C-alpha cells in the first residue's frame, strides 16, 4: 500500500520557522459532534513535538469539495500557532502530540 503524501508548508512565527500541513478535512462525525472542522498539524522546523490544531466547522463544504491546504490563510495559521504556544505547547520538547482547539480566526 502506498503512503499518502502530505504537502508541507513553512511559516515564520515570532522569528521561528514552523512546518505545517492539513491533517484533516472538514467532515461529518457519526458521534454526537456532528460536523467537525479542519485540523492542521504543526511542528517546529528543528523540533519533533507536534500539535494538532482543530478549527470549528464553519460553512458546510459543497458535495465532494475538498479543502486545499494552499487555500488556507497563512495569517490564520500563524495566529493558531501562537495560540497553541500560549496554551502551553512547547514545540522543542519531547512527548505526545498536543491537541489545541481554536476559533475560526486561529485564536
Query: Splitting the chain (107 residues) into consecutive groups of 10 residues, what average pLDDT does each group show?
Result: 72 96 86 83 94 88 73 93 95 94 90
3-state secondary structure the chain: CCCCCCCCEEEEECCEEEEEEEEECCEEECCCCEEECCEEEEEECCCCCEEEEECCCCCCCCCCCCCCHHHCCHHHHHHHHHHHHHCCCCCCCCCCCEEEECCCCCC
pTM assigned to the model? 0.86
Flag whether 70 is in a domain: yes
The count of structural domains within the chain is 1
Flag whether 13 is in a domain: yes
Instruction: Give the per-residue pLDDT at 97.
Output: 94
Flag whether 3 is in a domain: no
Instruction: Give the per-residue pLDDT at 107.
Output: 87
Flag whether 107 is in a domain: no
Flag whether 60 is in a domain: yes
Flag whether 106 is in a domain: no
Flag whether 2 is in a domain: no
Flag whether 56 is in a domain: yes
Residue ranges making up the domain that contains 15 = 9-101
Amino acid at each position: 500500500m502506498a503512503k499518502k503524501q502530505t504537502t508541507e508548508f513553512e511559516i515564520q512565527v515570532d522569528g521561528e520557522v514552523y512546518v505545517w500541513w492539513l491533517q484533516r478535512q472538514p467532515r461529518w462525525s457519526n458521534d454526537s459532534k456532528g460536523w467537525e472542522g479542519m485540523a492542521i498539524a504543526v511542528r517546529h522546523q528543528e523540533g519533533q513535538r507536534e500539535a494538532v490544531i482543530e478549527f470549528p466547522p464553519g460553512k458546510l463544504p459543497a458535495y465532494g469539495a475538498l479543502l486545499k491546504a494552499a487555500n488556507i490563510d497563512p495569517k490564520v495559521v500563524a495566529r493558531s500557532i501562537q495560540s497553541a504556544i500560549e496554551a502551553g505547547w512547547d514545540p522543542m520538547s519531547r512527548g505526545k502530540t498536543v491537541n489545541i482547539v481554536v476559533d475560526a480566526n486561529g485564536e
